[in-house]
Chains A and B, each alone.
Chain A
Amino acid sequence: MTLDDFEGGLDRYGVDLADWPDGVAAMARALLADSAEARALVETRLRFERLFAAPTPPPAPSVDAILRVATARPRRRGDALSQRWLRWIGAEAPLGLGWRPAAALATYLAVGLLTGFLTGSLSGEASPRLPVLTAATLNFVDGSALDRAGVLDD
């Protein structure tokens, strides 16, 4: 094991060789026995470790005090609207399959078709060459009909 390997191990596993994988720890011990640089590296890392080993912490606030303050504020009712909506769509549907996902997909498709239809009808360029249904489908898939009609230019 090189000194660089050893330093990498300190970053990866920490300064306590007991936390190192057995084989690597054995090589690290051998290096430590031979190398003053390796031992100096460990000393530096121990100083780093000690920064996070603060003196014994004072006692926490009492349970009653924590409860009193924490429960004084109103609880959040449910989750964000979007999460509730997503949950509603997927709820009560075994394996996520049910009428709600199907209805959501159908609605999305209908909106896409309608947008495509209206765009196709209003567009002087796209309509003659592109059947309305095709335009609607393309629009649904990637918005390309809108692009052809120049709607997306802005």
Chain B
Amino acid sequence: MGEPECRALEGEDDATLMAGIAAGAFRAFRTLVERHRDGVMGLAFRVTRDRGEAEDIVQEVFERVWTRASAWRPRDDGRVFAWLARIAVNLAIDRLRRPRPRRLDEVPDPPAPGFDAEQRLHGREIGRRITRALATLPDRQRTAFTLCQIERWSNADAADWLGVSVGALELLLVRARKTMRRELADLMGDEP
């Protein structure tokens, strides 16, 4: 695949862009990054509640897209975001399990004036708890939960992407929500 102009690529669906990226089309990659970086950042931040962690995850997600695009196989109508979301959540879990020291240039900017540092620390702890709880879920439950509970996909769309019936998706969600509620009960002031 050649490299059509970026402008022309803006209208292309994700599956076409992925095919371009697999063939080494840099402009296709740029278009995909422009399209999904905010979505991936939002998800990573909602899971980790840590700006630095979320930025690293965004970076790593797209690094994987670029280096492993040939491994991607379209399973549906080209909704690449679900694939990116799955990678992002798995990366968050990996990073929690294998914390690494951060270089000085990786340390995020100080909080904006007026931002409550205590609240920020509390947010990070919530993020760690959420990530840890997500790690306890089997892969398909985790994906179902991520798409429906965090990304607010409809059950039908998530079932379509996962390649299961809506009923099967709902069973995954029931189990995932029960587990997550149990794991995070103290954060809700709720008993499991």
A residues sitting closer than 8 Å to B (CB atoms) are 8, 11-14, 19, 44, 47-49, 51-55, 57-61, 63, 65-67, 69-71, 73-76, 78-79
Contact = CB atoms under 8 A, between A and B. Distances in A.
B63 to A, nearest CB: 4
Contacts of B189: 47
Contacts of B63: 69-70, 73
A75 B188 contact: no
A48 B130 CA distance: 11
Contacts of A71: 26, 29, 66
Contacts of A19: 154-155
A59 B44 CA distance: 12
A49 B63 CA distance: 31
28 contacts: A12-B170, A44-B188, A44-B190, A48-B181, A48-B184, A48-B188, A48-B190, A51-B130, A51-B184, A52-B130, A54-B123, A55-B123, A57-B42, A57-B44, A57-B45, A59-B38, A61-B58, A66-B37, A66-B59, A67-B62, A69-B63, A70-B29, A70-B62, A70-B63, A73-B63, A75-B69, A76-B70, A79-B70
A52 B154 contact: no
B9 interface: no
B55 interface: yes
Contacts of B40: 60
A8 B42 CA distance: 29
